[in-house]
A and B are shown apart, each in its own frame.
Chain A
Amino acid sequence: MSVNGGKNEQAPSNPAALAKTEAQLKRVIETFIELGVMVHDFQGTVEAKEGLVERVNMTTQQFRSLVETSADLTEAIPIDVIQYIEDGRNPDVYTREFVEVLAKQNHYLNGKMEATRQFRDILAEQIKIAYPDLELAVNNSLKRTDDKSTTE
């Protein structure tokens, strides 16, 4: 997983464009349904032919507008999610699992931080006992690594 130079350069989202694209997609889907019905019921009459041609043209029209609309989108999608949808799975499951991993990692690291802090205090205490000369230096180190002191 590469890191983008440590900068937060994520583009601002464009909810309007997203909604517009969504609506356009809905239309395309509906057009496909209609087109399917027409083809299914196609009788070979002139009217039917004209209707079908018109509908196909409409579809291509909708394709064009869809491309135009989607050009404004800034969202980037992880490949894993695309794979999820391609496999017919719910992308929300991906979302949920990822959030759970995050929470777990957070807990673990929190515990590590706490343990390390305790170890630091004990070590400092022992060093101070064993080497009284180093008390100042130890205190200095404690002070600099104490998150409370750093927040002060």
Chain B
Amino acid sequence: MSTLSKDETSIVVKKKINQTNSSPPPIPHITQNYIPLSHVINNFVQYTYSELQHILETLPSNGSDDNKKMKLLEFIINSRKEFVKIYVLTKWAKVTKDISKCIDIVAWLNGQRNCFDNVINALYGIERTLGGAKLRNPDISTALDVLSLGHPTANLFNFVPPKPLTPQLILSTLHDLNVLLTIRLALIPDLPEEFQHYKIANGRATFSIHNAFDIDIGIADESSDAAFFLIDFRFTFNGAQAVSTNIKAKLEMRSNEVLARHGLRGLFNTLMIFTNNYKLSVLHKELLVLRNGLWTGVISVFFNTDRSHLILHYWIHRPGGRNIIELGLSKSNSLSLRWTREGKVVNDFDLSAEISDQIQDRLSAEWLLERITSLHLEHIISSTNIELLALLNLPDDSPDTSANNKGNRNILYDASKITIVGANDKKRLKIRLTSSRYTVFTVDQLTGRSVLENPNNLTISAERSLNELTEDHHGAAEVIFKLRLISLQDEIRARACATGWINNVSIHLSSDDIRYHFGQSTKFILYLRQPKWPLGSFILVTLGGNIMPRWWISQLSPKGESWTINFLEQIVVRQNIDAVYDYKLFDKLVQFATSRIAIHSICLQLKAYDIQYKRLKDIQGNPIVSLDTTSIAKSTWAHNLMFLQLAADSEKNTVFLVQGKVKSLSNLCDIPSSDPSIILNPKLGTFAIKVVATDFMSNVLTNIDAPKLVTRTPGHVATMPADKENAKLISSTPTTEKFATGGIIQIIRNKLAQVERVVSYVDLIRASKLALSEVSMNRLSFNYGSEPSLAASIILSDINTMSDKFLADENIQLVLNKESPHRFIQAYLQSILNLKGLKPIIWILTTTLNLYQAILKVSQLHEAKFNEADFTAVVDGLDYHDLELKKGHVTIIHRNATTLRLIYKDICTIDIKLVHKSPSELVYYITQDKLIVNKQFQQNSQIPILTGTMGQFDINCNRKLEEVWQGIHKLNILNPDSKGTNDSNNQSSLSPLMPLDKGIVCQPAFIGSFVEEIDKLITTFINPVLNFDIVKAE
């Protein structure tokens, strides 16, 4: 800017100043918020006037005078008060000019104050912007040199270059420094232990810390308290990288500060912290690489640089406590490791030294991770092994105290079944599950997941539960232990199902029952049954604890939702873990258990029938039931004790065998055993009843629970004979019931009854002194006379139906010889046989033999006479009824076995009846029914064809008969001795006939002869009739 222009501007400014000086600017006047006084007064007066007007107009309507007065006075007072205010305002208005001025000044001063504030703000702004003024002017000439030539051409700003150092000077200086350093270091009293060994050379002291760093320390001057300074720093552990220049510079600065303040000890600590932090960061980097590589998703890494704390969480998906490796600095600033295994700090692992050495030396994160997981894995395996062994040694609390089950062979597993396998490390646990299966328990070192090798459904589910254990590996032993039981159970089930057993899964015993009967340790129960078995019968296989599976025969019944045990008997199955549960075992078991169940059900039936019995065992331990024969069936031939057992016959069928002894051999020795189910051994005097079980089994067994039950004695409670040794009868089945039909007991009872019947019949026949011609269980034949026609047979059918009157011979058929004189009354005899048995039959047959032989003879005689006549010639003139009558002229009507009627057509009717003369004496009582004769006579007299001659011979005949009855007409009765049928001594002294008022009595021995004589007598009167009829026809 030129000087001329400055002058010009100053002149202009002066002019302006002069102009302003002449009249200073007026202070601006404020007009806002002012109201003219006249305006106020005017408005107020108008308001008051209008109010007054309003009051005056409305006053008349305001009621009383007092009200009017009050209203008006109120207005007046208020108005006056307001006017006083207006008056005050008017008085104040005198100063309004001055006050207005004051307001203007204050407003103006406020504006000035704002001006000052703005000035100050502007100065601050200038202060801030002046920073740019500090920039140096660009060295343009040098910049041009560098740009054009590549280097500045100007000399070094006239600096004088120093003289080059001579080698001698350098050497001597370094030597001096060495000496000084030696003295200084020797004089330091509290040199750190790690710095005790050092090397002094080339003017520097070199400290080497193993596996950490080397440092070079120099000294500045000769004074005794001259500060050390850091010359160089190098890491000396494996895997360390060279320290970058940048870091080295920072380190040097920091080290020199520490040296100045805390000396060499402080330096050592600082550098140790630095080195170890560096190691941690290297580890962290390696772990990050691992986390993104092989160990993805199974480790997590966190590095807290402020606290020098590296946290490695491995097996992060393994349930239970966290598994953490922590690396940090100890109080002595060395690296230390803390291992938290499953949430608990591991204090006692003896590898910490090894690990820390490795950390110091190799610094390999992968090695560390693998080593720790390996240790952890071994720990899991070993602790699981220990717990498994501890579980194996659990005391057995089962209530089973049978001596057979004690001893070592009952132990399910021993320690030899669990082995730690592995070439070099103990990372796998091999466990025998069953005789054929094993599994290997291990943990995946990468993920921490539990693994069970040799997978099937069971191991897979066990593996799942192993990996869901939230506690720690303590549960693992239990899971594996359980797995073994389940595997064993599964194997038993599979084998059993393959051999035709049914596994029932829907049965649940109450836990109290299980505890009570099988012990606390029982974990699993297998319910096996055969299809043929009754509903409640099962083989139970209980597994639990460390004992072999126990086998039980049981009878269960549903009770509400669960089942209860009615019967329980343990089976001793010879087994051990090495034994295979093969098909043979189960086949044997079928037979064995079936027989036990059958015996049990038979016992139930026995009980239901109130038959006394006792359960025993034979030498082999097979169950035998001893029975009281008398309580089963009436037995005259067998001893009271019988034994019932299951056995196999020659065809390998299972049979129920009932064995006993006969009382006397003579009873049965002659009876051939026609029934294969009943075996008699006359030599030994034993008998056996054999019922093939396979045929009856299902029927027999089913009847146990069959609904065909009838109440025998309501309220009666039978007591089961206690047989504590062999069986536990938990609760008796309903004892007031018996079985309506079927059942092995009934079969046995029937067989016994059958024998009893035969024996009793044989005894009877023999007692009657009759000749037995054929004896078998089904047929008895005997003769009751010397003639071959006097033979009778009794055909016995099997007794299969249950009845209390099973001895009533309903199934007995009487068969008489075709020529037998008794054949006409066979129907009567059959009914008597059915009703009263064989004894009355034999009595009738022998007692009435004379009578019926005579009757037969008479009948045959009449038929023969009839045939002799030329009957065919007269047939045309007679009807059938006449022909029948005329056929024999005598009609025999059997009223019953001992009463019969002889009707001589149109002549007479004679009744013969066997009656008791005295309790010990029998006689035949013979009467003639005259009424019928007379009646017939009268009727016949009306028939024109027969009148005359017919009445005549009828009367003659009756008269003759009357004489016979009265004993006037003596008949020629033969001495029965000549026939040799009866006892002659008694009969000879007796009169054969004894006339009575009505009829006549005849001794049984003479009845045959008597009947024949009577017939002969009557026939003599009949013959003319016959002749007459024939003549008439001619």
Which A residues lie at the B interface, using CB under 8 A?
1-10, 13, 15, 18, 21-22, 25-26, 28-29, 32-33, 35-36, 39-40, 42, 44, 56, 59-60, 63, 66-67, 70-82, 85-86, 91-92, 95, 98-99, 101-102, 105-106, 108-109, 112, 116, 136-137, 140, 144, 150-151
Q: Which residues of chain B come closer than 8 Å to A67, judged between CB atoms?
A: 41-42, 45-46
Cα–Cα, bound, A5→B21 (Å): 20
* B30:A73 contact, CB within 8 angstroms: no
> For window 98-140 of chain B, which residues contact chain A by CB distance below 8 Å?
99-100, 102-103, 105-107, 109-110, 112-113, 116, 119
Cα–Cα, bound, A15→B913 (Å): 186
* A82:B35 contact, CB within 8 angstroms: yes
A36-B87 contact, Cβ under 8 Å, with A76-B96, A77-B96: no
A32-B106 contact, Cβ under 8 Å, with A4-B31, A77-B37, A81-B92: no
Cα–Cα, bound, A137→B93 (Å): 53
* B85:A85 contact, CB within 8 angstroms: yes
Q: Nearest chain-B residue to A140 (Cβ)?
A: B10
Closest chain-B Cβ to A111's Cβ sits at a distance in Å of 10
Can you name 20 A-B residue pairings with CB atoms under 8 Å?
A1-B32, A2-B31, A7-B26, A15-B94, A18-B94, A22-B90, A22-B91, A25-B41, A25-B90, A32-B76, A60-B49, A63-B48, A73-B36, A73-B93, A75-B36, A76-B37, A85-B89, A101-B106, A109-B109, A116-B116
Stretch of B65-73, B193-201, B903-911 contacting A (4+ beta carbons < 8 Å) = B65-73
Interface string of B793-824 (1 = CB under 8 A from A): 00000000000000000000000000000000
Q: Which residues of chain A come closer than 8 Å to B103, judged between CB atoms?
A: 1, 78, 98
Cα–Cα, bound, A95→B37 (Å): 17
* Residue in B31, B91, B110 whose Cβ sees the most chain A Cβ within 10 Å: B31
Q: Nearest chain-B residue to A25 (Cβ)?
A: B87
Q: Which residues of chain B come closer than 8 Å to A108, judged between CB atoms?
A: 113
Q: Which residues of chain B come closer than 8 Å to A15, judged between CB atoms?
A: 94
* B79:A8 contact, CB within 8 angstroms: no
* A102:B106 contact, CB within 8 angstroms: yes
Q: Which residues of chain A come closer than 8 Å to B93, judged between CB atoms?
A: 18, 73, 75, 77
* B106:A98 contact, CB within 8 angstroms: yes
Q: Which residues of chain B come closer than 8 Å to A144, judged between CB atoms?
A: 13, 17
* B69:A3 contact, CB within 8 angstroms: no
Q: Is B80 an interface residue (CB 8 A)?
A: yes
Q: Is B84 an interface residue (CB 8 A)?
A: yes
Which B residues lie at the A interface, using CB under 8 A?
6, 10, 13, 17, 21, 25-38, 40-42, 45-46, 48-49, 52, 56, 65, 69, 72-73, 76-77, 79-80, 83-97, 99-100, 102-103, 105-107, 109-110, 112-113, 116, 119
Closest chain-B Cβ to A61's Cβ sits at a distance in Å of 11
A5-B28 contact, Cβ under 8 Å, with A29-B80, A39-B76: yes
Q: Nearest chain-A residue to B20 (Cβ)?
A: A150
* B6:A140 contact, CB within 8 angstroms: yes
Cα–Cα, bound, A112→B115 (Å): 10
Q: Which residues of chain A come closer than 8 Å to B119, judged between CB atoms?
A: 116
* Residue in A5, A77, A92 whose Cβ sees the most chain B Cβ within 10 Å: A77
* A29:B95 contact, CB within 8 angstroms: no
* B116:A25 contact, CB within 8 angstroms: no
Q: Which residues of chain A come closer than 8 Å to B42, judged between CB atoms?
A: 67, 70-71
Cα–Cα, bound, A99→B95 (Å): 12
Cα–Cα, bound, A41→B35 (Å): 40
- Inter-chain CB contacts under 8 Å: number: 182
Cα–Cα, bound, A80→B96 (Å): 12
Cα–Cα, bound, A55→B40 (Å): 25
Cα–Cα, bound, A60→B48 (Å): 10
A75-B96 contact, Cβ under 8 Å, with A8-B29, A109-B109: yes
Cα–Cα, bound, A105→B94 (Å): 25
Closest chain-A Cβ to B12's Cβ sits at a distance in Å of 11
Q: Which residues of chain A come closer than 8 Å to B90, judged between CB atoms?
A: 18, 21-22, 25
* A29:B83 contact, CB within 8 angstroms: yes
Cα–Cα, bound, A21→B79 (Å): 17
Cα–Cα, bound, A74→B46 (Å): 19
* A63:B49 contact, CB within 8 angstroms: yes
* B41:A7 contact, CB within 8 angstroms: no
Q: Which residues of chain A come closer than 8 Å to B116, judged between CB atoms?
A: 109, 112, 116
Cα–Cα, bound, A44→B77 (Å): 21
Closest chain-A Cβ to B894's Cβ sits at a distance in Å of 157
Cα–Cα, bound, A99→B13 (Å): 37
Q: Which residues of chain A come closer than 8 Å to B10, judged between CB atoms?
A: 140
Contact for A78 among B17, B21, B99, B110, CB less than 8 A:
B99
* A10:B21 contact, CB within 8 angstroms: no
* A95:B38 contact, CB within 8 angstroms: no
Q: Which residues of chain B come closer than 8 Å to A99, judged between CB atoms?
A: 102
A42-B96 contact, Cβ under 8 Å, with A22-B91, A29-B87, A78-B103: no
* A76:B92 contact, CB within 8 angstroms: no
Known: A29-B80, A76-B31, A109-B116. 20 other contacts (CB 8 A): A6-B29, A7-B26, A18-B90, A21-B41, A33-B80, A36-B80, A39-B69, A40-B69, A42-B69, A44-B65, A73-B38, A73-B41, A75-B96, A75-B97, A77-B35, A77-B93, A85-B92, A86-B85, A116-B119, A144-B13
Contact for B113 among A4, A86, A109, CB less than 8 A:
A109
* B30:A4 contact, CB within 8 angstroms: yes
* A36:B77 contact, CB within 8 angstroms: yes
Cα–Cα, bound, A29→B88 (Å): 12
Cα–Cα, bound, A3→B110 (Å): 13
